[in-house]
Chains A and B, each alone.
Chain A
Amino acid sequence: MIVALAAAASALVLGALAVASLWPRQRSLINDWVLLLAWGMGVGLGGTSILFFFNSLVFADPSIPSAIQETICTTGLSLFLWRRRRSKPLSNDYVISGFSWAVLCSATLAFQAILVGALVVFRSYALESHGGWDGWAIWTMHARFFFRAREHWPELLTYSTLAWTHTDYPLLVSASVARVWSFAGEESSSGAALISILFGVSTLALLMVSIGKLKGALIACMGGALLIGTPTFLSVTPIQCADIPLGLYVLSTIAGMAYCDRYPDSRGMPILTGLCAGEAAWTKNEGILFALIATVVWLAVSWVSGSRRSSLYWLVGLSLAMIPVAIFKVGLAPANDIVSGGTWHQLGNLMNPQRHVLILSAFRRDVLSFGSWSVVPYMAMALPLVVGRGRLGSQQWTPIAVILLLAAGYYAVYLLTPWDLQWHLDSSLVRLLLHIWPATIFVWCLIISTPVEAMSPTIRPAKSQRTRLISFALVNASLALGFFWSVNQQLARDELGAGYVKGKRISVLLDQGWYGQETHGKRVWSWSRGNATLVVNVPGKTPVSVNLKFGAVSVVPRKLRLVLSGRVLLSTQVESTLQPISVENINLEPGLNTIELQTDLPPVKSPRTNDEREFGFALHSMKVN
């Protein structure tokens, strides 16, 4: 894992140096270092994956040449920056000079959101450490192509029996994972998850820091809270798919456009922005469509505004990342299943009203639900726009045009798809919307017209600032403590109940003979298949005495006995209505204690439902004290 972290850190340093080299000269590198790191992660992973890809075509073990090339690039960029730093003193155009209460409140929300987000991502990872279905079946599979078949990996792309793993998909994510494995000398699910999570973290960091520089900390924290407040973003982040990485490159491109607009004389920014668009194409096939749209819009805007030089710089950056895409697509990959499946024969579908209705209804459904929100945020997001009466300038129109055209492009692909349309929509639309969501939040942040004081807080006396920061620290520490306490109360998978006895967390888990944990709100229960067992986990080295309180119910009246190590703890009659049961003073040894639950009747089907399963009894909401 240490080598994997070092490999990721090396990509981060290289990326940050590359971004710094292209950064507008009017801005201070020192003041912008967080933004450079946030931007650099994506650029670095993209760049190192390209180096690894080329080396893997030539060398059996691409890790050594990749490491050498990365070191040369890092050294070269460092020298370049060192010389540039000495040649011209730099200054920043915007500095946060104070903290208003509004900023501190929003920062508190963002800080607590980051804590929750980190926990949710960790839990998702613990649940599926090898990634989701697409994660292992496509992206990690292709990483295994690189790592296991070594220089022969392109041959694997030619086998039609492997077509189900979409061998035509671009390789940024897979090559990044294989690079980490190659450096470490072994495969690990944690290496793949690390790359996956880094893309999610970079997305959040880039959104917040870039908005912070453009619109101030208050709006940046709001944007961050909106992104973390998208449960799908958190659950998809660790599952080792390419959707979050593509979302990062879409965001990087859109953010780059905003910075290009702010620094029209910069030669580096259009190169960086074009490079990010190209890296989107190197991430997923949908990224190729994005790169095409972004390039067309950029060229059109540059043409209209008369800055043709920036078009050239954009194309330079774009082509750097498009070279591997072209080599892979033209020379190595099989044809894409949608394109080769007769898309052009489907042109008649453009005028098929049924397909339009189907696509529009799926868009309506998924636009409202793709985030798995408890409360859909669009109405709330509209309020500051209405109140602020902001006007859209070219800085906002260009990214809006790109996002709308990308959505229109996805719409057209659905119209022309040779696959079953409903299946195609159901299996992909949510992920496509996730690609554009971080960039959409970025644009939302840009559009809000902020009162001046929110943008640049009034400079207060130092003492007042200190008081505010101390209050901020205290409030956040208290909230974090409360958060960890409440998280500790949550029941784990297959836990029926838990509680603290003498400072130890005693948990009761479903063992044999259960249909699994069911929940509704805070209620937790499980039905048995007949006789069943529970396991009580006692941490530490000393025995404890506990009381168990729970509800029990059965489809038909039956006897229930609880037995621990041959000793009967309880014998009772369970009825068809929920009844409270209490078992006191159970002496438990440290470690795992198995409680047998024995019943006198076989399981039966429920006459009240169509459920085909046969039920014994159910235990509800167990309390341990």
Chain B
Amino acid sequence: MKRLRDTSFRQLAWYLSLLIVAAVSALNISGSLERSIPSPSGLIKPPLEAVAEVDERFAELRKDLSIIHPPDVIGYIGDPTVAASKTTSEVQEYYQAQFAMIPVVLDQNFEAYNWAVANLRKGKLDQQLLMDWEIHTRYENSVLLLKRKAPR
């Protein structure tokens, strides 16, 4: 009889312990739901993700450069105002531009190349650069394809 009681007690304790696991899981699941944010519905369009926005900005240029096959390297000139802000966003913009432009490889050391892409989100092209470079094509959203005046 005592053994039977022990077994029943153990079984009850076992079920209770699982109930606690279930309760903890339920709390965590509900916390997860509370923290997740729905996107606006209806006519409101969510803002474009940074990566998608850069993809769009570089789409035309990439199409023009798709003749570069197999992959090749061209220079990359970042936005001087972004660079001056001393934030990490200059690196981010470069990475995003590279993501958009693959298989064309962008090198921040642009002086080594005859062609370069200028990614001018806010600022203007440094006038000194125009001594050596000319604007070959001006794309929408301040993306420029530059060509060196005197090829190396």
Stretch at the interface among A19-27, A226-234, A402-410: A226-234
Query: Which B residues touch A229, using CB under 8 A?
Result: 24-29, 32
- Contact yes or no, A490 B21, CB < 8 A: no
- Contact yes or no, A375 B35, CB < 8 A: no
B24 partner, pick from A189, A375, A490, beta carbons under 8 A? A375
Known pairs A116-B30, A231-B31; list 5 more (Cβ under 8 Å).
A130-B49, A136-B51, A225-B25, A380-B20, A509-B44
Q: How far is the CB of B116 from chain A (nearest CB, A)?
A: 13
- Contact yes or no, B107 A161, CB < 8 A: yes
Inter-chain CA distance A509–B102, complex, in Å, is 37
Chief secondary structure at chain A's binding surface: helix
30 chain-A/chain-B pairs, Cβ below 8 angstroms: A113-B29, A116-B30, A119-B33, A120-B33, A136-B51, A137-B99, A140-B99, A141-B99, A145-B103, A153-B103, A155-B70, A156-B102, A161-B73, A229-B28, A229-B32, A231-B31, A231-B32, A235-B36, A374-B27, A374-B30, A375-B31, A380-B23, A386-B17, A387-B14, A387-B17, A454-B14, A493-B40, A507-B42, A535-B44, A592-B44
Query: Which A residues touch B11, using CB under 8 A?
Result: 451, 453
Q: How far is the CB of A336 from chain B (nearest CB, A)?
A: 20
Q: How far is the CB of B143 from chain A (nearest CB, A)?
A: 18
Given contact pairs A136-B51, A148-B102, A377-B21, A592 touches B71 in the complex (Cβ within 8 A)? no
Query: Which B residues touch A381, using CB under 8 A?
Result: 21
- Contact yes or no, B21 A380, CB < 8 A: yes
- Contact yes or no, B21 A126, CB < 8 A: no
Interface hub of B27, B29, B52 (most chain A Cβ within 10 A): B29
Query: Which B residues touch A453, using CB under 8 A?
Result: 11
Interface hub of A112, A123, A124 (most chain B Cβ within 10 A): A123
B21 partner, pick from A129, A383, A386, beta carbons under 8 A? A383
Query: Which B residues touch A225, using CB under 8 A?
Result: 21-22, 25-26, 29
5 closest A-B pairs (Cβ-Cβ)? Answer: A374-B31, A229-B28, A383-B17, A152-B70, A229-B25
Residue of A nearest to B14 (CB): A387
Interface positions of B from 58 to 74, Cβ below 8 Å from A: 69-71, 73
Inter-chain CA distance A120–B44, complex, in Å, is 20
Is the C-beta of A602 less than 8 angstroms from some C-beta in chain B? no
Is the C-beta of B136 less than 8 angstroms from some C-beta in chain A? no
Query: Which A residues touch B38, using CB under 8 A?
Result: 123, 126, 487, 490-493
Is the C-beta of A222 less than 8 angstroms from some C-beta in chain B? yes
Query: Which A residues touch B39, using CB under 8 A?
Result: 123, 126-127, 492-493
Query: Which A residues touch B129, using CB under 8 A?
Result: none
- Contact yes or no, B21 A487, CB < 8 A: no
Is the C-beta of A128 less than 8 angstroms from some C-beta in chain B? yes
Interface hub of A106, A126, A128, A374 (most chain B Cβ within 10 A): A374
Given contact pairs A189-B52, A222-B21, A231 touches B14 in the complex (Cβ within 8 A)? no
Query: Which A residues touch B31, using CB under 8 A?
Result: 231, 373-375
Inter-chain CA distance A126–B22, complex, in Å, is 29
Is the C-beta of A595 less than 8 angstroms from some C-beta in chain B? no
Inter-chain CA distance A492–B108, complex, in Å, is 39
Interface hub of B17, B21, B30, B52 (most chain A Cβ within 10 A): B21
Is the C-beta of A539 less than 8 angstroms from some C-beta in chain B? yes
Query: Which A residues touch B13, using CB under 8 A?
Result: 387
Is the C-beta of B87 less than 8 angstroms from some C-beta in chain A? no
Interface positions of A from 348 to 389, Cβ below 8 Å from B: 371-375, 377, 380-381, 383-384, 386-388
Interface residues of B, CB < 8 Å — how many? 49
- Contact yes or no, B103 A384, CB < 8 A: no
Interface hub of B14, B18, B70 (most chain A Cβ within 10 A): B18
- Contact yes or no, A162 B25, CB < 8 A: no
Inter-chain CA distance A155–B104, complex, in Å, is 11
- Contact yes or no, B25 A152, CB < 8 A: no
Query: Which A residues touch B33, using CB under 8 A?
Result: 116, 119-120, 487
Is the C-beta of A70 less than 8 angstroms from some C-beta in chain B? no
Residue of B nearest to A126 (CB): B39
Residue of B nearest to A506 (CB): B42
B residues contacting A by CB (< 8 A) are 10-11, 13-18, 20-33, 35-44, 46, 49, 51-52, 69-71, 73, 95, 98-99, 102-103, 105-108
A591 partner, pick from B16, B20, B43, B108, beta carbons under 8 A? B43
Is the C-beta of A117 less than 8 angstroms from some C-beta in chain B? yes
Q: How far is the CB of A543 from chain B (nearest CB, A)?
A: 15
Inter-chain CA distance A372–B36, complex, in Å, is 12
Query: Which B residues touch A423, using CB under 8 A?
Result: none
Query: Which A residues touch B17, using CB under 8 A?
Result: 380, 383-384, 386-388
Is the C-beta of A164 less than 8 angstroms from some C-beta in chain B? yes
- Contact yes or no, A149 B71, CB < 8 A: yes
Interface positions of A from 506 to 535, Cβ below 8 Å from B: 507, 509, 535
Inter-chain CA distance A176–B32, complex, in Å, is 29
Residue of B nearest to A226 (CB): B25
Query: Which B residues touch A137, using CB under 8 A?
Result: 95, 99
- Contact yes or no, B103 A148, CB < 8 A: yes
Given contact pairs A145-B103, A152-B103, A591-B43, A130 touches B52 in the complex (Cβ within 8 A)? yes
Q: How far is the CB of A219 from chain B (nearest CB, A)?
A: 8
Query: Which A residues touch B37, using CB under 8 A?
Result: 123, 127, 490, 492-493
- Contact yes or no, A231 B35, CB < 8 A: yes
Given contact pairs A226-B21, A507-B42, A152 touches B32 in the complex (Cβ within 8 A)? no
Given contact pairs A119-B33, A537-B43, A106 touches B22 in the complex (Cβ within 8 A)? yes
CB 8 Å contact bits of A98-142 with B (1 = contact, 0 = none): 000010011001001100110110011011111000001100110
Query: Which B residues touch A218, using CB under 8 A?
Result: 18
- Contact yes or no, B44 A123, CB < 8 A: no
Given contact pairs A123-B38, A229-B28, A507-B42, A141 touches B20 in the complex (Cβ within 8 A)? no
- Contact yes or no, A159 B21, CB < 8 A: no
Query: Which B residues touch A388, using CB under 8 A?
Result: 14, 17
B69 partner, pick from A105, A152, A234, beta carbons under 8 A? A152
Is the C-beta of A620 less than 8 angstroms from some C-beta in chain B? no
B73 partner, pick from A124, A159, A165, A490, beta carbons under 8 A? A159
- Contact yes or no, B22 A156, CB < 8 A: no
Inter-chain CA distance A119–B11, complex, in Å, is 35
Q: How far is the CB of A191 from chain B (nearest CB, A)?
A: 14
Residue of A nearest to B69 (CB): A152
- Contact yes or no, A384 B14, CB < 8 A: yes
Is the C-beta of A495 less than 8 angstroms from some C-beta in chain B? yes
Q: How far is the CB of B110 from chain A (nearest CB, A)?
A: 11
Inter-chain CA distance A141–B96, complex, in Å, is 10
Is the C-beta of A144 less than 8 angstroms from some C-beta in chain B? yes
Inter-chain CA distance A381–B29, complex, in Å, is 16
Inter-chain CA distance A140–B25, complex, in Å, is 33
Inter-chain CA distance A131–B43, complex, in Å, is 24
Query: Which A residues touch B102, using CB under 8 A?
Result: 141, 144-145, 148-149, 156
Interface positions of A from 141 to 194, Cβ below 8 Å from B: 141, 144-145, 148-149, 152-153, 155-156, 159, 161-162, 164-165, 189
